[in-house]
Amino acid sequence: MTLSELIKHSTAALLSLAALSSLAFGATPAELEAGYSAQAGAPASAARGQALFTTRHGREWSCSSCHGAVPTRPGSHAATGKPIAALAPGFNAERFTDAAKAEKWFRRNCNDVVGRECSAAEKADVLNWLRSLKP
C-alpha cells in the first residue's frame, strides 16, 4: 500500500469513528447543523430551510402539517392526532441532541414529505432555520 493510499484509508476510518462517536454520545443542534453543512460542502440557509419546511413538494403533507408553520409550539400528527412537542430547539431543549434520533426522524419524515431522504444540505438548512427561532 502506498503512503497516499494509507493516508486516504486512515482519514476515512477517522471520519467514520467521529461520526459513530457523535451518534453514540449525542450532539447539540449547532453541531448537527455544522456536520450536515460540512457534508454538503456549503453553508446552511434559514430561508431555504423555512421553504423546505412549509412546502408540500407535490405530496399530501409538508413538515408544517404536523409541526405548525412556525414550530415553536406543540403540534399533532396530521393522520393520527398524536401530540408532537415543539420542534424548534429554542422552545424544546431536547430537540436535536441525539444524532441517531435526528437521523431517524429526518429519514422517516423526509420520505413522507419529500418522497425521498433529505440531502445533507436540506437537513442543514432546516436546522439552521429551526435554530434561528428564538423565544
Write down the pLDDT at residue 21: 47
Tell which wins on pLDDT, 9 or 108: 108
**Lowest-confidence range among 8-12, 70-74, 80-84, 117-121?**
8-12
Give whichever of 5-14, 21-30, 100-109 has the largest mean pLDDT.
100-109
Q: Determine contact, residues 125/44, Cβ cutoff 8 Å.
A: yes
Categorize the per-residue pLDDT at 7 as very low, low, confident or very high, splitting at 50, 70 and 90: low
Across 2-135, the runs of DSSP E, i.e. the strands, are 75-76, 83-84
pLDDT in tens, 28-54: 999 999 999 999 999 999 999 999 999
Supply the mean pLDDT for the chain: 87
Burial 90-123 (b: 16+ CB within 10 A, else e): ebbeebbbbbeebeeebeebbebbbeeebebbbb
Tell which wins on pLDDT, 6 or 33: 33
pLDDT in tens, 75-84: 999 889 999 9
Q: Which class is domain 27-132? A: mainly alpha
